[in-house]
Amino acid sequence: MHVRKAVLPVAGWGTRFLPATKAMPKEMFPIIDKPVIQFIVEECIDANVENIIFVTGRHKRPIEHHFDINTDLEKHLEECNKTGLLENIRQISRWINPIYVRQKEQLGLGHAVLTAEPVVGEEPFIVSLGDIVVEDGSSVIEEMLSIYNKYGRSVIAVFEVPQEEVGKYGVVDAVHLDGPVYSIKDLVEKPSPDKAPSNLAIVGRYIFTPRIFEKLRVTKPGKGGEIQLTDAIKLLLEDEQVYAYKVENKVYDTGTPIGYIKTIIDIALQREDIKDEMFEFLQDIINKHSQCIDI
């Protein structure tokens, strides 16, 4: 069955970024001049997703405004003859017809995905998490779709992380099949490094068969007292094979302050308009700081 819908859970508190996230969704944090969520939406559009379903919560209105038409701003840019900016702003608000579903209580990622069930219905769907930006992410979704089309089963994107970082992610125990494709045997959410079954971490890109909803309904609170998507996938494994796709693309984790800063610096160094100045600036401050830091 054709995969047409993507669910983007954006209802979380953003506790790792407090107090910055007290009134501002972390999904709206800019990577230079583009909010993180726009990277995720562009990835879906480039992979020909037809419907984007945001699972939102209180304090998440700026996301809705971002993808909505702002006639006053458009009029202003038109009057000032800022044609390039005007085109850009127009494009963002006309790309998608978003659907917003409200998660009334923040009970975990699994619960957020379950909230989208009435809109997704009985069809396979993508889940893309808002804090991970993948370089050329649409190619990852396209690869995952071709694995889904081959096997007709759920596909989870994973990437290799250093062993000491496994505790930040869901981790899979998987058997290698062919090229980047693995067959998942087990999963664990944020294991301690000595208990992790591997260093293959869940990236935050998933394609699910609709049976995941059945499993989410019976998933008990797990790590952190939250209803974890990883635990529901573990239940799904009892009935269906689940595949992993190993991503080789660069993965940016914008969900923590240090990951966010690294993302901005890396992407700034790739932007023609600012890369030279940024490079000089970095060299300069590294020189200055290396005199006082023991590195």
**Residues numbered 126-155 forming contacts with ligand G1P, rule: CB under 6 A:** 129, 131-132
Stretch of 34-42, 73-81, 191-199, 201-209 lying at the interface with ligand G1P (CB under 6 A):
201-209
**Residues numbered 210-249 forming contacts with ligand G1P, rule: CB under 6 A:** 228-230
Q: Select the residue interacting with ligand G1P from 25, 57, 170, 222 (CB under 6 A).
A: 170
Residue-level length of the chain: 295
Nearer to ligand G1P, 229 or 278 (CB): 229
Q: What is the per-residue DSSP string for 109-136?
A: HHHHHHHTHHHH-SS-EEEE-TTEEETT
DSSP reduced 3-state for 34: strand
DSSP reduced 3-state for 155: strand
Show the tokens assigned to 55: 């699972």
Give the E-state strand segments of the chain in sequence order: 5-9, 30-31, 34-35, 51-56, 99-102, 125-128, 132-134, 155-160, 170-178, 181-189, 200-208, 243-246, 251-253
Is residue 252 close enough to count as binding ligand G1P by CB under 6 A? no
CA R_g for the chain: 20
Q: Select the residue interacting with ligand G1P from 109, 113, 116, 268 (CB under 6 A).
A: 109
Q: Select the residue interacting with ligand G1P from 201, 242, 247, 278 (CB under 6 A).
A: 201
Stretch of 61-69, 84-92, 95-103, 198-206 lying at the interface with ligand G1P (CB under 6 A):
198-206
**Residues numbered 5-44 forming contacts with ligand G1P, rule: CB under 6 A:** none
Residues that bind ligand G1P (CB under 6 A): 109, 129, 131-132, 169-170, 189, 201-202, 204, 228-230, 255
